[in-house]
Structure 1
Amino acid sequence: MKKLTPNAHIRILSPSSSIDHIGGFEANRASKERLEALGFQISFSSHYNEHDMLGSASIESRIADLHEAFLDDSVDVILTTIGGFNCNELLPYLDYELIKKHPKLFCGYSDTTALLNAIYAKTGLKTYMGPAYSSFKMETLQDYQTESWLTALSQTSYDLTPSQEWGSNAWYLPDAELIFHQTEWKVYNHGQAEATALGGNLSTFSLLRGTPYAPQDTDYLLFLEEAEEDDYFDFDRALAALLQAYPEPKAVLIGRFPKECEMTEELLLYILAKYPVLKTIPVIYDMDFAHTQPLFTVTIGATVSVDTKTMTVHVEEN
Structure 2
Amino acid sequence: MNRKRFIANSLLGLGALGLTSAVRNSPKYSEHPTQTPPPLKKGDTLAIFAPAGAVFSPQHIKKLETVLLHQGFKVRLAPNLYQQKGYLAGSDQERVATFHALMADQEIKGLIAVRGGFGCARMLPKIDLDLIRQNPKIIMGYSDLTSLLNYITQETGLITYHGPMAYSTWNKFALSEFDAAFKQQKAKRLITLRDAEQYSNKKGKASGKLLGGNLSVITSMLGTSYQPNFKGKILFLEETNEEPYIVDRMLTQLRDAQVFNAVNGIILGKFNNCVAEFPEESLPLKEVFDYHFKELNIPVFGFANFGHVKDKYILDIGRTTEINTENFSFTLL
- Other-structure match for 1:51: 84
How far does residue 184 in structure 1 lie from its aligned partner after superposition?
A: 4.0
Contact 2:244 2:274 in 1 (8 A): no
How far does the alpha carbon of each residue in 1:76-103 deviate from its partner, in whole angstroms, 9 at most, with x for none? Answer: 1111001112210000011111111111
- Number of aligned residues: 290
Please say if 1:214 is aligned against 2:222. no
- Other-structure match for 1:173: none
How far does the alpha carbon of each residue in 1:267-318 deviate from its partner, in whole angstroms, 9 at most, with x for none? Answer: 22321232367532221122101112211110011111011223331002xx
Please say if 1:256 is aligned against 2:270. yes
Please say if 1:100 is aligned against 2:129. no
CA-based RMSD of the aligned residues comes to 2.2
Q: Tell me, which stretches of 5 or more residues in structure 1 are unaligned?
A: 164-181
**SS at 2:291's partner residue?**
coil
Contact 2:49 2:113 in 1 (8 A): yes
Contact 2:54 2:86 in 1 (8 A): no
Q: 1:266 to 1:251 in 2, by over 3 A?
A: farther
Cα distance between partner residues in 2 of 1:111 and 1:260: 17
Give the residue type in structure 2 aligned to 1:162: L
Cα distance between partner residues in 2 of 1:76 and 1:100: 14
- Other-structure match for 1:72: 105
Name the stretch that deviates more: 2-11 or 292-301.
2-11
How far does the alpha carbon of each residue in 1:185-218 deviate from its partner, in whole angstroms, 9 at most, with x for none? Answer: 4323341010111110010112221222222252
Name the stretch that deviates more: 206-215 or 284-293.
206-215
Name the stretch that deviates more: 243-252 or 291-300.
243-252
TM-score, length basis structure 1: 0.84
Name the stretch that deviates more: 196-205 or 28-37.
28-37
Please say if 1:17 is aligned against 2:53. yes
Please say if 1:2 is aligned against 2:23. no
Cα distance between partner residues in 2 of 1:64 and 1:84: 19
Aligned match for 2:208, one of 170, 178, 195: 195
Contact 1:110 1:227 in 2 (8 A): no
How far does the alpha carbon of each residue in 1:112-163 deviate from its partner, in whole angstroms, 9 at most, with x for none? Answer: 001011101211111100001221xx36xx2122212321233143122334
Q: 1:261 to 1:13 in 2, by over 3 A?
A: farther
How far does residue 68 in structure 1 lie from its aligned partner after superposition?
A: 0.5
- Other-structure match for 2:123: 90
Please say if 1:315 is aligned against 2:322. no
**SS at 2:48's partner residue?**
strand
Give the residue type in structure 2 aligned to 1:272: F
Contact 2:113 2:166 in 1 (8 A): yes
Aligned match for 1:162, one of 189, 193, 196: 193
Give the residue type in structure 2 aligned to 1:192: K
Q: Tell me, which stretches of 5 or more residues in structure 2 are unaligned?
A: 1-36
- Other-structure match for 2:71: 38
**SS at 1:226's partner residue?**
strand
How far does residue 49 in structure 1 lie from its aligned partner after superposition?
A: 1.4
Aligned match for 1:298, one of 276, 294, 315: 315
Q: 1:275 to 1:186 in 2, by over 3 A?
A: closer
Seq. identity, %: 27
Cα distance between partner residues in 2 of 1:266 and 1:34: 42
Q: 1:315 to 1:276 in 2, by over 3 A?
A: closer
TM-score, length basis structure 2: 0.81
Name the stretch that deviates more: 207-216 or 98-107.
207-216
Contact 2:245 2:283 in 1 (8 A): no
Give the residue type in structure 1 aligned to 2:209: T
Q: 1:222 to 1:208 in 2, by over 3 A?
A: same
Contact 1:188 1:285 in 2 (8 A): no
How far does the alpha carbon of each residue in 1:210-259 deviate from its partner, in whole angstroms, 9 at most, with x for none? Answer: 2222222521111001122x222221111111233313321111111222
Q: 1:261 to 1:4 in 2, by over 3 A?
A: farther
**SS at 1:223's partner residue?**
strand
Q: Which of structures 1 and 2 has the bigger CA Rg? A: 2
